Copies of this chain bind each other. A is one copy, B any other.
């Protein structure tokens, strides 16, 4: 299954909104604006204007502004969990599995879903405590995929450091690429960047 096939099946299961539908379009624009200006600086009037409706009409689709932020995050995690699972299935050795995860996460961060991924990282504090708990549960599933592979590598002797620590370092390092990585002509490709990450870890 490739990336768009995964997206299609998630839409069919009603786990993520169709980007061509009204709700999906709003979430896409919301992710873009939240990333560009931050959640607090983005007004409901900005959001409404981005999809061409009046600000009040937003509240027909979502009860509060925060609900929009939560929806962006929840759908992003759902999509990425599926993407990581696919990356794992495509690899046979643990080393290749880790490379697959790194490559897939870099693609999520710097590709089409990058805005939503950045929101997940940088707008976390804007979520209410209640919503944070809800989203964290989904995140645990996602993180377990990484930890399983890293622990296997440790048992193989290919990894010296602690898997928990390594995953957290990787989370920071990979998320941060969104602030500097620009795949321009002749520069570093996503595969090249993945190579650099693996080289840095001497893997």
Contact = CB atoms under 8 A, between A and B. Distances in A.
A130 interface: no
A167 B200 CA distance: 11
Interface of A: 37-38, 40-41, 122, 125-126, 160-162, 165-166, 168-177, 180, 188, 193, 196-197, 199-202
Contacts of A196: 161-162, 165-166, 169
Nearest to A35: B125
Nearest to A181: B168
7 contacts: A38-B126, A161-B196, A166-B196, A168-B177, A170-B173, A172-B175, A173-B173
Given A161-B199, A165-B188, A169-B200, 10 more contacts: A165-B193, A165-B196, A165-B200, A168-B173, A168-B176, A169-B196, A169-B197, A170-B173, A172-B172, A172-B174
Chain A binding surface SS class: helix
Contacts of A188: 165
A122 B199 CA distance: 28
Given A38-B126, A40-B38, A201-B201, A172 B176 contact: yes
A109 to B, nearest CB: 11
Contacts of A175: 172, 176
Contacts of A37: 125
Interface core residue of A162, A165, A175, A201 (most chain B CB under 10 Å): A165
A181 to B, nearest CB: 8
A126 B39 CA distance: 11
Q: Could you say which of A162, A170, A176 has the most chain B C-beta atoms within 10 Å of its C-beta?
A: A176
